[in-house]
Amino acid sequence: MKTNDLQTVALRQQAIFIPISSLNPSKGSTSPSPNGEAAELEGRGVRLNPITSVFVANLGKLGFTVTENLLQALNQTSPTFQADLLEKFRVVMGVNKNWTPLVKGWDTPTGETLTDHIITFFVNIFQGRGTKLECGHIIPANTFPLERYNGCPFCGTPFEFGKIENYGQGSQLKLLALWTEKDVQAFFADLLTSKTALDATQMDSLKILLANLPMPEVAVGMKETLMAVIDTYIAQNEADKAQKLFTSPQDILRYLWYKHTGFLQIIEPKTIIKRNRSNNQQLTPFLSLKTVTEHKTKTKSLQDKAATEAKNLLKLKYSRPMCLTVAKWLNGLDMTAEKACEIMHPKRQIWVRFIRALRLAEYNKRAGFEKLRELLDVFYNEKYEVWQGRVNHFRLRADAEQTFRLLQQRPGLFARSLFANMLWFGAAETVAAFAEIIDKVPARLVFTLNMYAQNYFNPIQSRTVKPLGGVSKNIAPHKLLRMFGEDDLTTMQDLVMDLCVLAMQKRFSAQATENKTIFIHPQLYKMPIAIGDRSENVQDLPSALMGARFPIEGNTVRLFMQWGEGLPAQHMDMDLSCHLAWANGKTDFCSYSHLVTTGCKHSGDIRSIPNKIGTAEYIEINVAELQAAHVQYVTFTCNAFSSGAITPNMVVGWMNSKHPMKISETTGVAYDPSCVQHQVRITSSLAKGLVFGVLDVAAAEIVWLEMPFAGQIVQGLSFKGVQALLAKLNAKLSVGNLLKIKAEAQNLTVVETEEADEVYTLQWAMNTAAVTKLLVD
């Protein structure tokens, strides 16, 4: 068991993991219980040793503090353990990275203009007079104030680097709790049994736990989660155990595709190729020496190269042992060939490629593979009927009875098509048919219907969707909504919402409980249920759900972006920007091409990274100035201006403090780990542009959300899409409201103190996998 890896998981849950083996009995008293845990980490009367005092002080500089229990446990650990732990925090907070921007003291604008760039451009063409920099560019006199720059103001190459100067400016410390082996095991089980798909952070934590701990005896809740478990068995040469986890050919295909591409969902090859090609679509560089025709030629070459690389990456090639393993998996499935082929049909083209690559036509001739032989015969000769085709057949003929009869056979698909069927066949008849099988519908789908009914049946409310592997798209309201009056649409909303609430109440009522009181933390009413809209990037700090709101303590929000750590020096142009929107439709932006605007100041455009240490950009946002200018929203974005997607391991986030945050006048470094309110590490390989937060100016709150978009610059962002996503997140049922429904169904009295039979705090809600236990099936 690697304690350092488990610390990564613990920190994401705002805790520190201290195994029993790390405790030094001479520094305090611990008495182990039969289950291996310390019955009580005593030592409250033991004097705090100097090493622990220094460790806690250093944590404070990074923005963390500890509970009393954790402090006493830390006091019993060795200096080596504490030193390793502190280094872990320093890595997560990026203390050893380069945080130097292009401009020194960038809160005071340099005054650079478009004219400065044009003059410098011509001086470099004709080799005129000026100051020659390390990058080779000549900066003429009376243009850029070179004493204000850490690099070349013309090409954005950094030369000078500084260190973090200011620590401990944060006004609110993050409280860390104690995690023991029991807590780790409980969290492990929660991830495995989660009834909603895990986001990137949870999946990364699950992989760490699978690599370090034995698999607990629990039922895996989601197909995506199952892939990580199966992969662990394969890595341990236990393919036979994986066989028991496959229930359909789709599970096998999902695993093969996950192993080949890294995607837990089956994204079509053509989608991956298209995204790689579009990510290399470049705007004509400003003041480029190339002609437009030359630029188009180069761009097409980059696109073709990216598409070729993607195609090569997607080529399938398997060893003989792996082919045999998959053949056994398919041969061992407990279902008829016709049923299996019907499941395979939607991904028929991908299956044809895999069947060839895995040499299944060869293995089906062997003795003992009769079921595989029958499966391939039925598949290739198409001796099966597709259920969805029959549904479409009856739907197009407006045969409600036959359509509903088929849909009732598959409650999950009935739930997903409920709204459209209500418009097609009529609300009352559709809801009545759905009510007969709603008890068989997974709870997450029941909640989804309840949350999105109001938006769907709004004839003027656009919706946001994100196709697999694609970017967020804004969808216009369904055309059939125009055929109904306002009262009819309101009735449809009420029918769905009332039915879903009744179903949830019935499920809660069926749970036996002897409890009488319940405490619900007020902040839980602002925390959405983790259904859909999962994050594709990793949060190494205490993680938050999409739609979570962060209150602003002071008048300043500071965005930051750091990229390129560990990479050799090269041109790699990533851009940090923000988009301003007013209620009257007016918009503005702050980016590399517009360094100063209403309430926003940019630290300068860096287009090349130094060797190994990375580089950084900032944007300072003055909330008071934005409020005075009546700005409604400020959207935070990062983009890859260079060819390709956003570089992996880029870190973006924002800082916030009640007290003013300093900016170095000598280097411009403006990063203070203690002020970081939220940060995200980019791991998605297909995003060209990414929205990572929205400032609600009037409410002085930042909404954490993640929305990829196809844009090389911030101007490519459609704010209508952001508004649609905000509306979708606002429509989600909150954890607090769900607990309120539970309280009413089980006759629990809601109390305002934690002295209750059932206690639901912010710390409990941080484990979103545990929250899904409320989704009663």
Helices (H) and strands (E) in the chain, counts: 29, 27
Scan for tokens 């649609």, then name that residue.
724
Residue 593, helix vs strand vs coil: coil
Please give the pLDDT value at position 54.
94
At 605, which amino acid appears?
A: D
| Backbone phi, psi, residue 597, to 5° | -150, -170
Give the DSSP letter of residue 346: G
> How many angstroms separate the CA atoms of 477 and 489, rounded?
13
String of b and e for 231-257 (b: at least 16 CB within 10 Å)? bbbbeeeebeebbebbebbbbbbbbbb
> How many angstroms separate the CA atoms of 384 and 120, rounded?
70
Tokens for 740, please give them: 């309120």
Confidence bin at 762 (pLDDT 50/70/90): confident
String of b and e for 277-315 (b: at least 16 CB within 10 Å)? bbbbebeeeeeeeeeeeeeeeebeebbeebbeebeeeee
Please give the pLDDT value at position 511.
87
Residue 621, helix vs strand vs coil: strand
Q: Calculate what percentage of the chain has a pLDDT beyond 70.
A: 92
Please give the pLDDT value at position 131.
94
Confidence bin at 702 (pLDDT 50/70/90): very high
* pLDDT tens readout for residues 546-558: 888 899 999 999 9
Confidence bin at 711 (pLDDT 50/70/90): confident
Mean pLDDT of the chain: 87
Considering only CA atoms, which of 172, 164, 161 is closest in space to residue 662? 164
Please give the pLDDT value at position 313.
64
Q: Is 430 left (phi over 0), alpha (psi -120 to 50) or beta?
A: alpha
Tokens for 37, please give them: 């845990």
Confidence bin at 27 (pLDDT 50/70/90): very low
Helix (H) or strand (E) holding 88: helix 79-92
Give the DSSP letter of residue 193: H
Please give the pLDDT value at position 30.
41
> How many angstroms separate the CA atoms of 51 and 13, rounded?
25
CA distances from 511 to 395, 738, 745 (A): 38, 15, 10
Query: Residue 37 pLDDT > 50, yes or no?
Result: no
Measure CA 409 to chain center: 34
* pLDDT tens readout for residues 186-195: 999 999 999 8
What is the residue-wise DSSP string for 468-530? TTS--EEEPPPGGGGGS-HHHHHHHHHHHHHHHHHHHHHHHHTS-----EEEE-GGGGGSB--
Please give the pLDDT value at position 42.
40
Note whether 490 and 453 are within 8 A (CB).
no
Confidence bin at 282 (pLDDT 50/70/90): low
Q: Which carries the bigger pLDDT value, residue 647 or residue 558?
A: 558
Confidence bin at 1 (pLDDT 50/70/90): low
Considering only CA atoms, which of 674, 743, 586, 744 is closest in space to residue 58? 674
Please give the pLDDT value at position 712.
81
> How many angstroms separate the CA atoms of 734 and 525, rounded?
5
Tokens for 298, please give them: 């180069």
Tokens for 118, please give them: 């044009």
Around Cβ 111, how many Cβ atoms within 10 Å? 11
Query: Residue 202 pLDDT > 80, yes or no?
Result: yes
* pLDDT tens readout for residues 51-94: 999 999 999 999 999 999 999 999 999 999 999 999 999 999 99
Please give the pLDDT value at position 303.
61
Query: Residue 363 pLDDT > 50, yes or no?
Result: yes
- Maximum Cα interatomic distance, the chain, rounded to a whole number of Å: 86
Tokens for 535, please give them: 């994050």
Helix 719-731, helix 443-456: angle, nearest 10: 130
Please give the pLDDT value at position 96.
92
Q: Range with the lowest mean pLDDT among 138-152, 294-308, 322-336?
A: 294-308
Tokens for 609, please give them: 């990274």
Note whether 607 and 573 are within 8 A (CB).
yes
At 29, which amino acid appears?
A: S
Average pLDDT rounded to a whole number, residues 504-517: 89
Q: Range with the lowest mean pLDDT among 20-24, 74-78, 180-184, 735-739?
A: 20-24
Please give the pLDDT value at position 767.
84
Around Cβ 621, how many Cβ atoms within 10 Å? 26
Considering only CA atoms, which of 542, 518, 447 is closest in space to residue 767? 542
Residue 738, helix vs strand vs coil: helix
User: Residue 49: CB partners within 8 Å, gap ≥ 6?
Assistant: 27, 75
Residue 43, helix vs strand vs coil: coil
Considering only CA atoms, which of 29, 20, 79, 25 is closest in space to residue 49? 79
> How many angstroms separate the CA atoms of 376 and 360, rounded?
8
* pLDDT tens readout for residues 245-256: 899 999 999 999
Give the DSSP letter of residue 129: S
Measure CA 339 to chain center: 35
> How many angstroms separate the CA atoms of 683 and 705, rounded?
15
Helix (H) or strand (E) holding 202: helix 200-212
What count of Cα atoms within 13 Å lies in the side-chain half-sphere of residue 714?
A: 24
Q: Which carries the bigger pLDDT value, residue 500 or residue 301?
A: 500
Q: Which carries the bigger pLDDT value, residue 383 or residue 30?
A: 383
Average pLDDT rounded to a whole number, residues 766-776: 83
Scan for tokens 């057949």, then name that residue.
393
> How many angstroms separate the CA atoms of 741 and 737, rounded?
6
At 744, which amino acid appears?
A: E
Q: How far apart are the first and last CA of the chain?
A: 35
pTM: 0.86
